[in-house]
Each structure stands twice: as structure tokens, then as C-alpha cells.
Structure 1
Amino acid sequence: MADFKSSRTVEDGPVPPSPTMSTSPQALDLDHLPDGYYRSINFIGSLVAVCLMAISLYLGFVLPVNSLTAINADLGPDPSYNMITTMFTLISGVAVLLVGRFGDIFGRRYFLIGGQFLGLIGAIVCATAKNVPTVIGGSALCGLAAAVQLTFTFVIAELVPNKARPLVNAAIFITTFPFAAFGGIIAQKFIANTEKSWRWTYYLNIITCGLSVILFAFCYFPPGWNVKHKGDSKLNALKKFDYLGFVLYAAGLILVLLGLSWGGSSYPWNSGHVVGVLVVGFVSLIAFVIYEIFVPLEQPLLPMSLLKNRGYTATVCSALVGNMVYFSMSLLWPEAIQALFTTDAIKTGWLSISTGTGVIVGEIAAGILMKPLGHSKYQLIASTVIITAFSGALAAVNQNRQSLGIAFTAIGGFGVGYLELITLIMCPLYCKPEDIGLASGFLGSAKQVAGTIATAIYIAILQNRLTTNLPRDVSAAALDAGLPKSSLVDLLENVSSGDLSSVPGITDNIIVVVTDAVKTAYSQSFQTVFLASIAFGGIAVIAALFSVPVDEKLDNVVAAKLSGTGASQEAFNETEKTHE
């Protein structure tokens, strides 16, 4: 890897920091790093470990979510099999903020090693499971690991100059491309063509987690406690930690996510289970905000000063609302394919990769173009406009417009990926280098909540529209084609199964007409959902308008330095003291 330097003027050794660089005790200027730093075994090993960690994140979710039916068929049937992915997203969404914050305070080394080790154990549990509850338990461990894996976007970013962060993140996303874009296909191929079927999903995760644990243990030595907090004790830091804030935040988030996951599936939306859980969850989150604002805390979980930063708040809002629009494509496009075009699992997998492929290409493109293009605010605005326009354009898709669906999801996905990358870069640049984990952790946590809310809204809209559209369109088409009115009840009862041959008075011509009417009803229902996503996109665009450019912060400052790669971090800090 290049050293990100046009020239070298400094020998390998302690060098006084530039007076213009960040005042963070960890931050350094690029020119004051030792020669060969970015070619060192420690840096390269850490980079490979982070790439494996990012791959583990996709292996832990994308492949299992496309294997749920096979898992349930093999180990079940068990009505709770959907909890396999729910447990993963629930735990990772809650824990990512805590992981980011603790990493800022205590150092990231042991969190990354421990997180990947948990991922290794979780993958082993799932791969050897004999029943669905065991897979759910393994997924809980994988969810804890995912909270750590989600930090891959800033673990390496803090070790390179700010100006190189977009390019380095693009390189990491390239390594995830096969699983992010083709994860569904890979999962289906495992199920169809291997003796171990869906278990190969977890075997791959065992390999990536195991290798990354080894590399982190031997290569990754970021600034630790002694560098971050000279003169203070870990016990004192633990005493100052905001435990009540975390309890309020975690409890509220878990209850809200559970309520949204249960609503309309496990329980009706108006049931006491859903309403009670949601009310208590939102009350807990409100109490958390009030507590963080009014209670004087030495070490708050989420400093309100961060949310008062207009640039940070606007960028986070753009990211999470844009993520809600993305869910309309990633969640509904595969369903639309099965309802409108094909029920073949492999073909569905190939057609549905358009969104994921677009996202990864967008992330890579943003990493390459963000710094050279400049005008980060306008790039943010443009990406939200693209997402909104092409998500809404999916409303034009019906059973005769498959190519439009592929094109719109690919272009809309590109906008999502572009937005994803630039917000991941922009958000940490609004805060101090030592708070990069906090800024990125809150972003990741908020996006998990937004995605769950979007999923609940979209599913509710789709189900409500289908309840109206299916009986209306199918009945009208069947009667016009000659079906006796007395057979309508039987017809509507059999539509969901797809077997219409037992309906009295049915003919081949009526079956063709009814099949097309079912697709029309689905396309009209999907149309309502995609049009509803425009509202979220509009909010994302408005939030982007209030963002603040970060171009001047894409400079030579390096937030943290690995030890064992030349002069130690402690030596840099000691030298800084002598020049104060």
C-alpha cells in the first residue's frame, strides 16, 4: 500500500507534531510518521484483519437471511425461526454504540479480538446446531460480534490521513463485494449443491473470524489506555461511565426494535404485546435523552454537544432516512420479483442482486471520487436526490417491466452506496479524533433503528394494500373471463396457494387471466409502498441541505498510530510535551 505521501523529509524516529494539527493527544501529522509505516507488517496485517472482519459482517447476516427457509426445513419446523436474523440485528444495533464508546476510552485492540472471537464461537454454534433455538442462540453471539464488526469503517480510517479515508474504505468495501452483492446467490448455491447445505454459510464465517482473530492478536496495536489517559486509572474510568444512560438507551432500543419486529407478524399491531413494548421503549428513550441533557456527567454515553453540531446531526439524519428509503428496495424488490416475474429461487437471487451490487459500486465510487470532486455537501445532496428519485420510480414497475425494476434498483442502490460512504467519512470529521468511535457508533445504531422502523412501515402498507387490491382485481378479472359468481369465494381462498385447478367452473383461460390479475394487484400494492418512500427521501434531501462541508478536514492529520511500526506513540507524545 502506498504511504499516502508525495515526499519524505523525516527520518524514522520521534518528531515534533505540526502546530497546525489536531490537539488530540493521539493525532499526528502524516509527515511525522516513520518511513515505511504503511508498508509495515503491523499495518498490513491490521488492514487484512479489518477486511476479514468486514467480510464476517456480511457472512453473518446476508447469507443466513437468505437461508432461513432451508434452516427451518432442516431443523424445524419452528415458528420462531425468523428470530435468527431478528436476534442478530437487535443485539448489534444496541451494542454498536457501546463498543464504539468503550473503544474510544479504553482502546480498540481487545474489543476487536474479543468481538471476532465471539463471532467465531457463534458461527461454530450455528454450524453444528441440531435445532432452531440453538441457531438463534448462535445468532445472538454473532450479533454481539457484529457490533464490533460494524466498526470496520473507522478502525483503519483512524490510522490513515483524513484525506485517504474515503479511498481506504472503498478498498475495504471491494473485499466485501462478493458477499454483499452475491450473498443470496451464494447461499442458494450452498443449499442446492453441497452436502452440508446452509451450514457452509457458517463454515465460511468460522474461517474469516478465526483468521482475523490471529491477525488482530499479532498485528493490531492501536493507542491503548496509557496513551489515551496518562495519569488516570481504568477503575476510575469505569466508575465514571454512564451506566444508567446505557440501561435507558439499551432497554428503550431493544423494546422498540422488538415491538416493530412483532407488529403485524407475531402479533397484531393493536395487541397489548406490541403497544405495551413500543410505549415503554419510547418512554425509555425519551428518558435517556432528558437524562443526558440535564444530569451533569463526567463521561456521558452520548454527549449532547455532539448532537448540537449542525453538520453531524444533519449528516446523520440524511444517512438514516436515506437508509429507510434503501430498505424499500432491498426488502421489497425480492418480494416483487417473486410476485411479478418468477418463483424460481435461483433466478430470483440473480434478479435481486441489482440493489446490493449498486450499493457496493456506489460505495467504491464515492471512495474514489469524494476527495477529488470536493464539495462534499453537494455530493451528499446529490446522493439523497438519486435515492429518492429512483426509489419512487420503482412505482412504475409491473409484471411487464422487469428491466425497469433492475435498472431503477441498481441506480437507486448506487445512490445508497454513495450516501453510505460519504456519511461514514463525514460524521467522524465533525468531532474530535478521540471520539470517532462515538460518532460512528451512534450513526450505526441510529441506522439500525431507522431500518427496522422502515421495514415495519413498508410491510404494513403492503399488507393493507393487498387486502384491498387482491379481492377487487382478482374478482373483477375472473368474472369478466366467465367464472361463475358462486365460485368467487373458492377462488379467493385458493389464490394464495397458487393452485386454482379445484375451483368450480375454472378454465385454462380464466387461470391465465386470474394469474395476471394477481400480479396487477401486487404491482399496485408495491406502487403505494414505493411512492411512500418518497416522503422519507424528501426528509433526507432536506437534512442534506443543512449539512456542513468537510473538504478542508480531508487533510494530512492521522487520528491514531499503531505501535511496533517505528517510533512509538508514547515517544511522539513525550516529544510533544517538550515542545509545548
Structure 2
Amino acid sequence: MASEEAKPAEVEYDEYRQQACAVPLATGDIDEVPKNYFYSARFIGSGFAIAINLLASTGGFAMVAPILTEIDESIGPGSIIWLSLVYTMMLAIGLTLVGQMSDVFGRRYFFIGGTLLGAVGATIASRAQTIPVVIGGEVLVGLSAATGYSYAFVIGELVPMKWRFLANAVIFWGSMPTAGFGSAISTAFVLYTEQGWRWAYYLLIIANVTAAALYSLFYFPPNFHQKHGTDSIMRWVKNYDYIGMFLYLAGLLLFILGLSWGGSIYPWKSAGVIAPIIIGFSCLVALMLYEAKANIPEPLVPIHLFKNRGFVASAIVLSLGASVYYSQAIVWPSMAANVYANGRAMWAGWAGTLVGIGITIGEIIGGTLAKHIGKFKYQLLTLITISTISLGAMTTCTPDTPKTAMGLVFLASTAVGWAESIVLPACNICIEDQNEIGTATGIAGSLRSAISTVASTIYSVVLTARETTTLSTVVPAALSQAGLSTSSIEAYMAGVSAGDTSVELSKISGVTSEIIAIGTRAYQVAYADAYRTIFFTSIAFGGLALVVAMFVPNFDALLTNKVATQLNLSNKEANVTNNEKV
């Protein structure tokens, strides 16, 4: 036998894949699965673990983003916007790493460790006395979220391919408390508990510890040696794609950091913004060239995935849909509070849940019905059209149309959720090798986070510029027309920015209850005008999603009885004979 050094990398890779496995990665059709498999404690317990892990992961953003102001007022001031930015950045880099590395080394300990990491991060954030410490905790929460958002391949590989949509729908039910009602829950914590915003992190601690316990007790997927036979872990560690990992981490982090710094920490034309964007983008280009040309036994980013039309089109549509979610998850709660709430904080909290509830309900409906409807391309085109028209119609909303605005946002979000329930499973159904299910889904998830960060940056730049214009023109004009002097107008606007109450504002010279009512209305009109620009911008993303959706294939024929892998059952559960099949 030739020495190990003399073997080409592609031969080593082939040998790795051909190693005998105690539990094959591709177990065949459903009739080869033990009769009690889907009713076993390990399968059901794993399902609960995945659902609660997703609940914790969505909560790391959905419960924190709506209360950034309250956190800043409690322990700030500081760069509070970083609290949401670091979450999306860590999620973006974590998804590919969790997917690819767990494909290689086995999933069990990645998911136990990931949920415990989330508990540690939430603990740090919950006891923080300064903004930087909260941000540090949120970094760990964001990394942990990569395990929760890996639900599509973790549950998907355990069921027949034709059940993957339905399996996702079941998991979505588990995430509803935070994904759907996160804004209301965190607002209630702020208003009605002594610990206030810290309870959002206490809830994350509870959820992550529970998920870790369930994974430990029930989640036993194929381990390293069942994937690779008698091969050694150190051999795989030695041949791991470290150069690809470096280029990936450096490129994605620098690119997203540059975008995030622009217009907030540094001017867009400064070196502090331009340099990270250019260097980060260059690293990502170098990553793709390296992965395409180098002989790597297990590449971090397999280039052949990007030659798969179904995977690429589905991943891009997924990313554009997420762009709508992340932008509206921030914009709509703000719009509800500034335009429609009239000081009703809890009402604003409940109204702010519409995006999360709509997305989750859409995912549940789509996961339940999409397979039965079929013709996935045409479903996507219909759903994207509905969401684009609904968000476009938001441009007609005024401070006097709260019900219309709420209905349109909910409809658009539900359509986006339904579309996501199709394209996310498509990213791992359309691939040729189900052994790469984690890698493919992780790459799609990272692309989703990266593109949605770009979109959120665009939304933020547009909204900030428009708010500056409308607030500086509409409000002074209305107050001046009401008879307020220039100096009092300046004092009034400064008081509103500082959060002064009506009683405090009434102490300003010339300010009466009538003036306050006029000023309140002027602010509502100014904000409504600013948000209108955001909804015009969303039309462009919707149009792009429509074009890309035309390239998503109708993959109905791939929804077979094939099961990608099985959990290892306990000795008691495994006593079912091989003749007793589903």
C-alpha cells in the first residue's frame, strides 16, 4: 500500500468516504427504519431539544432588538446598536462552521456545547452593568444561535425527505413564544418586572440549559467512528481546511463590520469603512478561488454546490426573504411605537410581534401544505408577489390607518414565512449528496445572514437620511404654524428627543396642551413619511426575489421515502427486530 504522503488529496477524500460505517449515513427508504423509531424516546426527545434550541436562538434577537433603548437607558450610554449587529455577525459565521464541522466530526457535542455556550452568554449579559459586557454576552448568544438555526438539517436528516417540510413545521411551533411574541414578552419584562430587560436573558438561560439537557439525554446521531469507521480523529483534524476557515472568518467578519460601521461609527467615505469592506470582500473572493483550486479532503465550502442551480437559487431567495424579515423586525416595531402607539408602550409591544408571528405562522402553514400543493416555483412566485405588493401598499399608510398597516405587515410577513418554509428545505433536498446536508444548509444560512445584513444596512441608511429630513422640516413647520417661537421649538424638539413627558414639555415657554397635541401629530406624520421610503425600498428586494425564484426548480420528484441518517436508539428501543419495519 502506498504511503499516506504519496496519496493525492482526492484519493484520501474518497477513502474517507468509503470507510465502513456501523450506522450508514444514508440508511435507505423508510421501510428500513425500525418500527418504533419515530415513536422512540430518543427521536421525540431530540425533536423537543431542536425546538427549544430554536426558541432560544430566535429569542436572542427577537426579544433583545425591541428593547435596545431600555437597555441603553439602564446601563448605558454606549454603542447599543452593536447588540443586534454582533448577533447577526456571529450567526453568519457560525452556521457554515456548525454545518460543515458536524458533518465531519458528528453533531452531538456541537449541539450540546452550542446550547451551553448560549447559556453562558445569556448569563454574562443578564448580570452586565455596562453596554460592552452585554455585547460580549450577546457574541456568545449569537454563536450559540447557529445551532438553533441549524434545525432544517438536524431534524431533516432524521425523517424521510418527503416529511422534511412537515418536520420543520412542527419545530416552528416550538419557537413561537420567542419568534412570534418576543417583542411583547420583552416589553412586558421591562414594564412589569423589577429586573426589567434582564429577564429576557434569564429566559434564554432557561431555554438553553433545557435544550442542552435534552440533547444530552436523547440526541445520539452517528458519531465520528460511525461516520468514518476505524479512521482516527487526528487524521481528519490534521487535514482540516484551516486556510479556508481563516479566509471565511476574516472575509465575512470584516465585510459585515465595514457595512455595520458605515454611517454610524464612521462616515461611509472613511478608511474605517472602506478598508474592512474591500479587505473582507477580497478574502471571500480568495476563499472561493482557494476552494476551487486546492486539493482539500473536506473543503469548508464545496464549490460544486454553487454549480447546483436548485441550491443556489433557493439560497438566494431564502436570503432575500430574510432581508425582509430582519429589516421589518427592526423597522415595524419602531413604526408602531412612533406612528401609532400614542404613548401606549404595551400596545406597541404587542403590535411589534406581528412580523415575528406572521413569519412563524407562514412557516408553519408552508411546512404543512407546501408539499401537498406542489409546483414549488409557482408557489414562490405567488408568495413573493403577495409580500412585495403588501409592503409596497404600506406606502399609502398614514397615522390614521393603524389597522391597515398592521394587516399589510402581517400579510407580507406570512407570505415571506411560507416562502422560507419552501426554500430552506430545498437547500438540502436539491443537493446530490445527503452526506453534505449540514454543509449545504449551513452555507445557505450564512449567505442568508450576510445578505440580510447588507439589506438591513441599506434600510438603515435610507431610513436615517429620511428621518433627518422629515423630522427637521415637518415638525418645526407644524409648531411654527401653531404660533410657537423658534427658541421654544428647539427646546420642544430637544425635550422630545430626551424622552420628556407632556408635563415636562408644558414647562417650555408657549407650550400648551394644544401645542403638544399638534407636535405629537407632526411627529407621527414625519415618521410615517420616513418609513414610507423604506417600503418603497422593499419593492426592489421583492422584484429581485421574483427574478431569482424563476430559477428554482420544481423538485417534487425528490420528495422520496429516503431517510438520510438515523439516531442510535437505546438498547431497549433497539430490541425491535429488523423484521418489524415501519
TM-score where L is the length of structure 1: 0.88
- Alpha-carbon distance in 2 for matches of 1:417, 1:277: 33
Shift of 1:503: 6.5
Conserved? CA contact 2:184–2:352, under 8 Å: no
Greater shift in the superposed pair: 528-537 or 52-61: 52-61
> Residue 32 of structure 1: CA displacement?
0.8
Give the corresponding residue for 1:556: 561
The Cα offsets for residues 244-292 of structure 1, whole Å up to 9 and x where unpaired, read as: 1111111111112212222222222222212222222122212222222
Matches within 5 A, 1:11-50: 25-50=25-50
Partners of 2:305 and 2:84 in 1: how far apart?
A: 31
CA distance in 2, matches of 1:164, 1:566: 26
SS at match of 1:439: helix
User: Quick check: 1:109–1:222 contact (8 Å CA) kept in 2?
Assistant: yes
Q: Secondary structure at the match of 1:34?
A: coil
Bigger drift between 478-487 and 128-137 goes to 478-487
Contact 2:179–2:356, Cα closer than 8 Å, also in 1? yes
Aligned to 2:145: 146
Q: CA deviation at 1:486?
A: 8.1
Query: Is contact 1:390-1:412 (8 Å) kept?
Result: yes
Q: Structure 1: which amino acid aligns with 2:296? A: L
Deviation of 1:408 after TM superposition, in Å, equals 0.6
Match of 1:159, SS state, is coil
Deviations 1:404-423 (A, max 9, x none): 11001100010111112111
User: 2:311 maps to which residue?
Assistant: 312
- Counterpart in 1 of 2:528? 523
* 1:354-377 CA distance string (max 9 Å, x none): 111111110110011011111122
Alignment-mate amino acid for residue 449 of structure 1? A
CA gap of 1:572–1:465, structure 2 versus 1, over 3 A, is farther
Counterparts of 1:454 and 1:195 in 2: how far apart (Å)?
37
- Asked if structure 2 preserves the Cα contact closer than 8 Å seen for 1:34 and 1:567, the reply is no
SS in 1 for 2:195: coil
1:387-432 per-residue CA deviation (whole Å, 9 max, x = no partner) reads: 2111211111111111111001100010111112111111101112
Cα contact 1:34–1:566 (8 A) shared by 2: no
Is 1:467 matched up with 2:468?
Answer: yes
Per-residue CA deviations over 1:97-152 (Å, capped at 9, x if unaligned) read 01100111111111111111212222222333344333222222222211222112
* CA offsets 1:298-352 (integer angstroms, 9 cap, x no match): 3221111101111111111111112223334222111212221223321111111
**SS of the residue 2:567 aligns to:** coil
Tell me the equivalent position of 1:398: 398
2: CA distance, partners of 1:282 / 1:553: 35
Output the CA distance in 1 between the equivalents of 2:380 and 2:105: 33
Is the deviation greater in 185-194 or in 499-508?
499-508
Q: What residue number does 1:54 align with?
A: 54
Counterpart in 2 of 1:20? Answer: none
CA distance in 2, matches of 1:194, 1:255: 39
Partner of 2:63: helix, strand, or coil? helix
**2:375 alignment partner in structure 1:** 375
Identity among equivalent positions (%) equals: 38
Letter in 2 for 1:553: L
Measure the CA separation in 2 of the matches of 1:332 and 1:514. 22
Identify the residue that residue 14 of structure 1 maps to in structure 2. Answer: none
| Separation of aligned partners in 1, 2:204 and 2:497 | 37
Give me the whole-angstrom Cα distance separating, in 2, the residues matched to 1:375 and 1:572.
39
SS of the equivalent of 1:317 reads helix
**Equivalent-residue separation in structure 1 for 2:421 and 2:169 (angstroms):** 8
Query: For 2:353, what is the secondary structure of its paired residue?
Result: helix
- Pair 1:196 & 2:201 matched: no
Alpha-carbon distance in structure 2 between the residues aligned to 1:87 and 1:334: 20
Q: How many residues matched? A: 548
**What is the aligned-residue RMSD (CA, Å)?**
2.6
Q: How does 1:221-260 map to 2 (within 5 A)?
A: 221-260=220-259
Q: Could you say which residue in structure 1 is the equivalent of 2:10?
A: none
Say if 1:27 and 1:433, in contact at 8 Å, map to a contact too.
no
Task: State the secondary structure of the residue aligned to 1:562.
Answer: coil
Supply the distance in 2 between the matched residues of 1:82 and 1:401 (Cα, whole angstroms). 30
| Alpha-carbon spacing, 1:393–1:38, altered in 2? closer, same or farther (3 Å) | same
Q: Distance in 1 between matches of 2:490 and 2:221?
A: 68
Equivalent position of 1:8 in the other structure: none
Aligned to 1:433: 434
Partner of residue 322, structure 1: 321
Unaligned runs of 5+ in 1: 1-23, 574-580
Shift of 1:484: 5.7
Inter-CA distance 109–336: structure 2 relative to 1 (3 Å threshold): same
CA distance in 2, matches of 1:462, 1:547: 32
Q: Once structures 1 and 2 are overlaid, which stretch shifts more, 388-397 or 469-478?
A: 469-478
| Distance in 1 separating the partners of 2:170 and 2:413 | 18
Correspondence 1:385 to 2:390? no
CA distance in 2, matches of 1:197, 1:153: 33
Give the drift of 1:493. Answer: 5.7
Preserved CA contact (<8 Å) 1:66 1:184: yes
